[in-house]
Amino acid sequence: MRNFSEPYPIAVVGGGPVGLYLGLCLEQVGISYIVLEQRSAPRPGSRSLGIHPVSLELFDELGLADNFIRNGIKIQQGHAFTNNKKLGSLSFEDCPLPFNFILALPQHRTESLLEKALTERNPDSLIRNAEVTAITEHNQKIEITFKRNGSTNTIESAYLVGCDGKNSLVRKHAGISFKGQPYPDTYIMGDFPDNSDFGSDAAIFLCNEGLIESFPLPDDRRRWVVKTAEYINDVTPEQLTSKVLHRIGHTIDDTQTSMLSSFGVQKLVAQPIVKDRVILAGDAAHVISPIGGQGMNLGWLDAQDLADTLTQIFKNDFQARSILNQYQKRREHAVKNAIRRAEMNMKLGRATKSPFWRNRLISLMLKAPLSQLMANIFTMRGIERWLI
């Protein structure tokens, strides 16, 4: 165990998927850091499930991709339906090799794999059961206080990175506002044994009553996401399965429900993302609608960019301000695109009384020449460079 009296160049608050991956990137570029995480283990239950090719490419650079692929399910195509008719299919086959698929892996398993890789490379890098409670800044140094096993500890760092999620203490401490709004959309989702005929394919049903999404999971299970007219408190498996049966006539096997939840969606962006020596990444910097499955992947892109940014800063400290401004601009651009793409996905999935033109549009988007552009958009290609 490291001696906490030693100052760190970088302290990372939050060892969720983004903080753990940032640790791996800093390890790779040889910058000393510490990750403080309040939980004793990854949060059980699966929120995120999609790992996009852009992230697999980043994982590959760190020698991680093969292990993730061994643990997940490769989604190589998706099918779009109305309540009772097929509109078309979208294949990722022609996307750049070798990652021409989206990998389905529940978030807690993703976090466990990242943690294993990080602690194998540096056993002292992650401090669990460490709840950060106070942050103070003086003389270009940041003092971070955390509680651990009944004692209070303080460390010092040159830069502080908040990877501490939507309710970020780091963001609040820095006085950074989190601006945005909720959308009217609400959903329920659950994981069940897979009794569908879709195998490793994804399926999206653009029903008149609202969207249903269905994704493969490891261990012969399947995730079902169902749009609801309003937020449902204390959702039961029956509420989800009856909506699926009513809208598309499929009977879900609900004998072993492994995860069930209700969620509303919102867009929130930190303004600014960087303030003095405090930098935000992941959900601490931006929360976007999960429809389209981009949030965690966007956080990994932040982390990789930040590791490059910090490498430049430690070579040219006198230019730190302008280097950090550029990080902020790049991240703002990527977040705007991800928000636009998520909004497009949500709009297409809303209940409608006149689906004719929406369905025509989807059929068109799933055919050449537009289908390759759609495959690129759905796999998060160009999120940092394109205008959409």
Ligand X SMILES: Cc1cc2nc3c(=O)[nH]c(=O)nc-3n(C[C@H](O)[C@H](O)[C@H](O)COP(=O)(O)OP(=O)(O)OC[C@H]3O[C@@H](n4cnc5c(N)ncnc54)[C@H](O)[C@@H]3O)c2cc1C
Note the residues at the interface with ligand X (CB under 6 A).
13-19, 36-39, 47-50, 107, 131-132, 163-165, 169, 263, 282-283, 290, 293-297, 299
Residue number with CB closer to ligand X (304 or 359):
304
Q: What are the b/e assignments for 208-244, b being 16+ CB within 10 Å?
A: ebbbbbbbbbeeebbbbbbbbeeebeebebebbbebb
Residue number with CB closer to ligand X (23 or 282):
282
Residue number with CB closer to ligand X (125 or 297):
297
Can you spell out the DSSP letters for 107-142?
HHHHHHHHHHHHHHH-TTSEE-S-EEEEEEEETTEE
Q: How far is the CB of 15 from ligand X (least distance, A)?
A: 6
Q: How far is the CB of 141 from ligand X (least distance, A)?
A: 19
CB atoms within 10 A of CB 278: 22
CA distance 235 to 241: 11
Q: Are 227 and 211 in contact (CB under 8 A)?
A: yes
Q: How far is the CB of 164 from ligand X (least distance, A)?
A: 4
Q: How far is the CB of 271 from ligand X (least distance, A)?
A: 17
Residue number with CB closer to ligand X (107 or 125):
107
Q: What are the b/e assignments for 41-71, b being 16+ CB within 10 Å?
A: ebeeebbbbbbbbbbbebbeebebbeebbee
Beta-bridge partner residues of 138: 141
Q: How far is the CB of 215 from ligand X (least distance, A)?
A: 8
Question: 357, exposed or middle or buried, with CB in 10 Å at 0-12, 13-18, 19+?
Answer: exposed
Q: How far is the CB of 49 from ligand X (least distance, A)?
A: 5
Residue number with CB closer to ligand X (298 or 323):
298
Residue number with CB closer to ligand X (110 or 359):
110
Q: How far is the CB of 285 from ligand X (least distance, A)?
A: 8
Beta-bridge partner residues of 103: 51, 74
Residue number with CB closer to ligand X (13 or 207):
13
Q: Where are the alpha helices (DSSP H) in 214-319?
A: 237-248, 295-315
CA distance 191 to 45: 9
Q: How far is the CB of 132 from ligand X (least distance, A)?
A: 4
Q: Are 192 and 251 in contact (CB under 8 A)?
A: no
- Cis before 42? omega within 30: no
Write the DSSP symbol of residue 284.
Answer: G
Residue number with CB closer to ligand X (169 or 359):
169
